[in-house]
């Protein structure tokens, strides 16, 4: 098992519960997320930047 630092862009959602689900689905494509954080919000593009540590 190895750990990797990844970043992802996620579309901003109106519903916070949907947003959490979308983030977790995106991160699960890269591996099993250990932890993640929203590090930037771009209101113009309606995108979030998420940084995470995942294991593979």
pLDDT for res 32: 95
**pTM to 2 decimals?**
0.86
Q: How far apart are CA 40 and CA 36, in angstroms?
A: 12
Give pLDDT tens digits for 6-36. 999 999 878 888 999 999 999 999 999 999 9
Is residue 16 within 8 Å of residue 37, measured between CB atoms? no
Q: How far apart are CA 24 and CA 20, in angstroms?
A: 6
């Amino acid at each position: 098992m190895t750990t990797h630092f990844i970043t992802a862009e996620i579309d901003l959602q109106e519903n916070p519960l949907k947003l959490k689900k979308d983030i977790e689905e995106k991160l699960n494509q890269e591996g099993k997320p250990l932890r993640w954080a929203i590090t930037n919000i771009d209101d113009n593009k309606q995108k979030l930047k998420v940084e995470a540590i995942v294991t593979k």
